[in-house]
Amino acid sequence: MKFGVVIFPGSNCDHDTYHVVSKVIGQPVQFIWHRSTSLDDCDVVILPGGFSYGDYLRCGAIARFSPVMQAIKEFAARGGFVLGICNGFQILCESGLLPGVLLRNKDLRFICDFVSLRVEDNSSAFVGQYNKHQIIQLPIAHAEGNYFCTNDELTELERENRIVFRYCSEEGLVSSQFNPNGSISSIAGILNKEKNVLGIMPHPERISEDLLGGTDGRKLFSSLSLHIAGLEKLR
Amino acid sequence: MKAKVYVTLKKGVLDPQGKAIHHAAETIGYNSINGVRQGKYFEIDINTTADLAHVQNEVERFAKEVLSNPVIEDYRVELDQL
């Protein structure tokens, strides 16, 4: 099993993500440069947080045209697992690997905070270790996290159980009061149709060790690792 | 030749920046301004030897694929023959 972490010019959570995969989860991981046209033999590719290409034009809009994204599109089409965190989520939306777009936060401010999330569905490979409706606390740090999609797309996301995380209160109540950025339907993370591509706005890699204040994010990485280990056994 | 591309938010897409600008306008006393929607404007230099129809087609494609996000934005292209 191997993880890959993509580095775009302006990525700044690449080393944190690498650290969690290699030291906390204990799995092999390599960096992948944005000019790379191959993902080697990675089973999982992570698009980390940051400000790829300075957020010029629109967040994630320029990263979408980097050579590595073509390889990632082919990888995803073959069923490879792709996880986009924060700016990574924005890139996945711009690339069309996920529906919708992330707009400026409704109050226009950059928000750096801890939020509660409800795990809406735990049937995908990314979140198998969480319980359904489990409440977790993850940090957010973004100015453009206000998820938006058409009503048809929202209906489809709901019908196909592709909304994985929603912002909520500490008790798990989902309402506009506990929605930090104005996201439609309080969405914090969604899957593609085939459920092998996940975009999440909060930062699980920043909360995967007790030393850093909690471990609620760790299961995002360990779920994938266990899922792939299971697949390898079957081979 | 120059191409001008205007990218504007689709109707119904919330524009908090436009709202903030509108609010500022109200605060300073511009009382005839009813609302503001913020967009983007691009000036593009065009190879003068290119065929006009080809240029129109290419800039339209560029506006659609790169300069705008069709989920939330519309675009309009104008060619300016100097």
Average pLDDT, chain A: 96
Strand ranges of the sheet holding B40-45, from the earlier edge strand across to the other edge: B40-45, B2-9, B73-80
Q: Encode pLDDT of B33-72 as tens digits.
A: 999 999 999 999 998 787 889 999 999 999 999 999 999 9
Q: Encode pLDDT of A195-225 as tens digits.
A: 999 999 999 999 999 999 999 999 999 999 9
ipTM confidence: 0.81
CATH architecture of the region B2-80:
2-Layer Sandwich (3.30)
Residues B30 and A165: beta-carbon distance below 8 Å: no
Residue spans of the domains in chain A: they are 3-234
Nearest Cα residue to A165 out of A101, A205, A217, A215: A217
The count of C-alpha atoms lying within 13 angstroms of the C-alpha of A193, restricted to the half-sphere facing its C-beta, is 7
Residues A193 and A165: beta-carbon distance below 8 Å: no
Q: What is the pLDDT of residue A235?
A: 80
B67 touches chain A (CB under 8 A): yes
Nearest to B69 among A58, A106, A146 (CB): A58
A149 touches chain B (CB under 8 A): yes
Catalytic: which of A86, A93, A149, A168?
Answer: A86
Residues A118 and A178: beta-carbon distance below 8 Å: no
φ, ψ at B79 (rounded to 5°):
-100, 135
Residue spans of the domains in chain B: they are 2-80
Catalytic: which of A94, A144, A205, A227?
Answer: A205
Report how far residue A191's alpha carbon sits from residue A197's, in angstroms, rounded to the nearest whole number: 6
Q: Encode pLDDT of A103-152 as tens digits.
A: 999 998 999 999 999 999 999 999 999 999 999 999 999 999 999 999 99
Q: What is the pLDDT of residue A55?
A: 93
The CATH topology of domain A3-234 is: Rossmann fold (3.40.50)
Q: Would you say residue B82 has pLDDT above 70?
A: no
